């Protein structure tokens, strides 16, 4: 069932012919109002908002993968790099009409970055100063940051350092994590840079933690 078409063509074909379209502005404004409501509900605790967005994305991802597989008819990828290409060229193209580039593949092939030139979710958005990441800080993976509050490590802290910046499109990280977990790959996905914080590009880092085993029926193991 694996297709011999190149991924880019496959992505475009599926997006054009098999996907229902909705108004982009409606979608983006709805998402913006969700984030605003979450910020209000959590009283400006951006760490919790980020976490909640990621969880929402995870739930979306676990279901989205079924539609992705059904419409694109893709089989399993041979290695993690191919997984990244499939997510970028087919997955994101199908659902958001975006094609990020896969970059910064790590030496052991267990980690890659998705670089988005534009982020439609953030089209009408401007973040307040306390939600932005201070310039010059370096982002570390959430799992390796300290357990107390998960503050991003600062390389020379600046005066207005936020406790945690708000990653506006964090739902996309959750979607990637949810989809890959249903494909037996446990990954970690987090934003490294965001145009809303003043960086040039939006970059999401995806790292493979481990490959999960299939379940065996009771009495077999």
Partner 1 sequence: MIYSLHIFDRHCDCIYHGDYAQATAVAGALDASEQNKLVYGVIYSARNLVNKLRREPASDAPFLAFSTSHYKLHYYETPTSLKLVMITGTGVDTQAVRDVLRAIYRDIYVEHVAKNPLAATTPGPSLVRTKKKPVDNSVPPHALITNVAFRSALDQLVAGLMAGSD
Which residues of the chain form contacts with partner 1 (CB under 8 A)? 1-2, 62-63, 65-67, 69-71, 73-76, 178, 181-184, 186, 212-221
Q: Is the dihedral of CA 145, 147, 151, 155 positive or negative?
A: negative
**DSSP helix/strand/coil, 10:** helix
Q: Which is nearer to partner 1, 129 or 213 (CB)?
A: 213
Shortest Cβ 30–partner 1 spacing (Å): 15
Shortest Cβ 59–partner 1 spacing (Å): 9
For residue 124, the tally of other CB atoms under 10 A from its CB is 10
Buried b (16+ CB within 10 A) or exposed e, 155-169: eeeeeeebebbbbbb
Shortest Cβ 142–partner 1 spacing (Å): 16
Close Cβ partners of 214 (under 8 Å, ≥ 6 residues apart): 184
Shortest Cβ 2–partner 1 spacing (Å): 6
Q: Which is nearer to partner 1, 2 or 158 (CB)?
A: 2
**By C-alpha distance, which of 53, 42, 91, 11 is closest to 190?**
53
Contact 165, 153 (CB under 8 A): no
Shortest Cβ 130–partner 1 spacing (Å): 34
Q: Which is nearer to partner 1, 2 or 37 (CB)?
A: 2
Shortest Cβ 200–partner 1 spacing (Å): 35
Shortest Cβ 162–partner 1 spacing (Å): 31
DSSP secondary structure code for residue 59 in this structure: H
Q: Which two tokens stand for residue 11?
A: 């992505």
Q: Which is nearer to partner 1, 5 or 63 (CB)?
A: 63
Q: Which is nearer to partner 1, 40 or 76 (CB)?
A: 76
* DSSP H helical ranges for the chain: 7-18, 24-41, 46-72, 80-86, 92-96, 170-182
Q: Which is nearer to partner 1, 62 or 97 (CB)?
A: 62
Could you give the C-alpha distances from 135 to 42, 124, 155, 194, in angstroms and in order?
Answer: 25, 22, 10, 12
Q: Which is nearer to partner 1, 83 or 169 (CB)?
A: 83
């Amino acid at each position: 069932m694996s297709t011999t078409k190149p991924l880019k063509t496959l992505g475009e074909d599926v997006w054009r012919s098999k996907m229902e379209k909705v108004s982009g502005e409606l979608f983006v404004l709805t998402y913006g109002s969700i984030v605003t409501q979450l910020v209000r509900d959590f009283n400006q605790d951006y760490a919790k908002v980020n976490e909640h967005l990621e969880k929402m994305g995870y739930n979306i991802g676990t279901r989205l993968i079924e539609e992705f597989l059904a419409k694109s008819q893709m089989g399993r990828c041979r290695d993690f790099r191919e997984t990244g290409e499939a997510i970028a060229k087919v997955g994101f193209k199908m659902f958001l009409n975006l094609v990020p580039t896969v970059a910064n593949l790590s030496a052991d092939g267990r980690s890659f970055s998705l670089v988005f030139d534009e982020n439609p979710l953030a089209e009408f958005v401007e973040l307040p100063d306390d939600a932005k990441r201070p310039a010059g800080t370096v982002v570390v993976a959430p799992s390796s940051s300290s357990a107390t509050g998960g503050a991003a490590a600062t390389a020379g802290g600046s005066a207005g350092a936020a406790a945690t910046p708000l990653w506006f499109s964090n739902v996309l990280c959750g979607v990637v994590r949810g989809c890959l977990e249903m494909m037996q790959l446990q990954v970690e996905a987090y934003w490294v840079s965001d145009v809303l914080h003043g960086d040039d590009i939006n970059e999401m880092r995806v790292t493979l933690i481990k490959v999960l085993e299939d379940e065996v029926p009771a009495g077999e193991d």
